[in-house]
Structure formats: C-alpha cells, structure tokens
Amino acid sequence: MPDAPSPDRPTQPGEAPAALKRHWQVAGQVAPDAVWTPLTGGRTNPIWRIDGSMGPLVCKLFLPEAATPLFANDPAAEWAALRALAGTAIAPEPVASSRTALGDSLLYRHVPGRPWKTDPPAVAGLLRRLHDTGPPRALPRALPDATGLAEQGRAMLAQIGTPGALPLPPAPEAALQGAAFLHGDPIPGNLLQAGGRLTLIDWQCPAIGDPCLDLALFLSPAMQQVNGNVPFSPEQQVAFLEAYGDTGVTRRYRALAPLFHWRMAAYCLWKAQHGDAAYAQAMPLELAASEQG
C-alpha cells in the first residue's frame, strides 16, 4: 500500500477517481465505457458499482487508516476469503485483486439485494454454513482465549484515557475455542437479502477462531442499532441460537456473553471518542446487556 494517501484518493463515497478507473481498464477488467456508481453501504472503504459489458461488478478501494481496534481492514485477507468461498453463494464471487496507485483494490461480482432486516434464524443458518467451511490458511488467527476479550477492551479504554470507565464483569467459566471460518463483522449492513437468499459482503476482517466471536457481533444490540435495526428481544436471541444448531457453541456463547457485551461497550466508547455519535447512543445498550448476563 502507498505510504501516504494520494490526493486523488477518496475518503467517502463519490465519483470514482480517474486513476482507479484507468487502472482497472488497463488491467482488462473494466470496459472504458463502463458506468461507475458510488454505493453508500460501506462504512469503512469507498465502493462503486460498475455496469458495463463485463457485467455488474463492485470495486472496493481500501483505506488502511480505516481499521479499528476491533475490525481489521485487510485486502489480502478479504481476497483469500472470497476465493475460498467462490461458488458457495455465501460471499460475492471474486474477480480480481490489485495494488493501484491509490491503494489496494478488489473487484467482485455485484450481489443484488437489500440490507437484511428480519428473520434472525436465517442468519444463524448462513453463519453455521460459513463456520462449517474449511478456512484458508492465509487468514489471521482470532483471539486465542477469553482473556483476550478483556485485554482488547482494556486497550481501547486506555487509548482514549478512560481505563477504569467500565467495570469488568466476573471472569467467565468458559474459554474461546475452535478454528472456524469467521466473517469477523456479520452485522446487518454486511448481509444482503434477495428473496430467500442471504449473502455476506465486506470481508475485510475474516479470521480463524471461535464461532462465538461472529455470533456475539451479530447479537450485539449496539451493532444492530447503529445499523438502523431494533436490538433483539430475548425471544429473538433464543430463536437465533437454537437455529444455529450447535449446543456446544451456543452454551459457550451464553457463558461469555457478559464479556462480549463489555468489550463492545468499550468499543462504543472508543468510537464515540473518535467522533461517531451513533456509538455513544448505543453504548448503554451493551453495558445493560453485560450487567444482565
């Protein structure tokens, strides 16, 4: 990746930079007369839909500075994940990966649909399919044990100068385990629904680790609210976990849930300190969920 941002590199959705268009045209992946339209769904990297003779594509331009303490922004990991999942309908079909003058960029087939809103059990089934798929070795390893959850939270609070802002819940009687294929950010904005089909998009932080890590992110009340959804009721949470269909994983998730919610509360404070007011409003939801156990 470039050492410093190019002045031509966008920081939010808008007209695609001429240098990016030219790169993919020279590479033979995009026709010169293709129409580039900014997409507003991505919260991390600018993305565009490309309509032309080679079919509807999506182009993503990675902004390395957009990574956060909880969510990586790794183009190599996304490319490895998309290639591993090609043909499964779990993820978009990969087309090409390249380093451009503006930064790393990916092309993949456009997936029709709208952001997911209802039916948590359907998402549980999709995540179970993903977690049962063998992950590529190139993916990074997720947290090795439950103490890593606490360490992540403490580190985020220390970065914003509030190390004692959130009382840590009691140590759980469970530990992270497993080596599943994780999406790393399975929130509503990264789920597209078309008819009875669900597809996970935005694979910039996949990993190998405990399935509970993905379940916790999807069930996070803050992540639901920030993405425009109402947090799940207790009944919806039960239905989701039952639909996932692995009692060992769901039992472990329940034991670790207070710590997961505490870590997300710390992340909300970190995001709020960095100017995202939506997370400040969502933080009390995570704190209340952590205290309820």
Q: For position 31, which CATH number holds?
A: 3.30.200.20
Decide if 181 is inside a domain: yes
**Final residue of a domain: which of 109, 144, 175?**
109
- In this predicted structure, what is the pLDDT of residue 195? 83
Q: Are residues 84 and 126 in the same domain?
A: no
Count structural domains, the chain: 2
Is the residue at 8 inside a domain?
Answer: no
Do 284 and 214 lie in one domain? The reply is: yes
What local confidence, expressed as pLDDT, does residue 184 receive?
98
- Cβ atoms 218, 211 nearer than 8 A: no
> What was the pLDDT predicted at 41?
67
Give the pLDDT confidence score for residue 140 in this predicted structure: 96
Tell me which residue of 117, 270, 247 sits closest to 194, measured CA to CA.
117
- The residues of the chain scoring below 70 in pLDDT are 1-13, 41-42, 293
Q: Looking at the structure, tell me whether residues 126 and 91 fall in a common domain.
A: no
Give the whole-number percent of the chain exceeding pLDDT 70: 94
CATH number at residue 174: 3.90.1200.10
**Phi, psi torsion values for 243, nearest 5 degrees:** -70, -30
In a domain, 9, yes or no: no
Indicate if 260 and 151 belong to the same structural domain. yes
Residue 64's pLDDT is 87
**Shared domain check, 264 and 207:** yes
pLDDT of residue 13: 59
Please report the pLDDT score of residue 3 as a whole number: 41
**Domain end among 109, 124, 142:** 109
What's the pLDDT at 196?
84
- Residue type for position 249: V
- Say if 185 falls within a structural domain: yes
Q: Which domain holds residue 67?
A: 18-109
HEC secondary structure over 46-102: CEEEEECCCCCEEEEECCHHHCCCCCCCCHHHHHHHHHHCCCCCCCCCEEEEEEECC
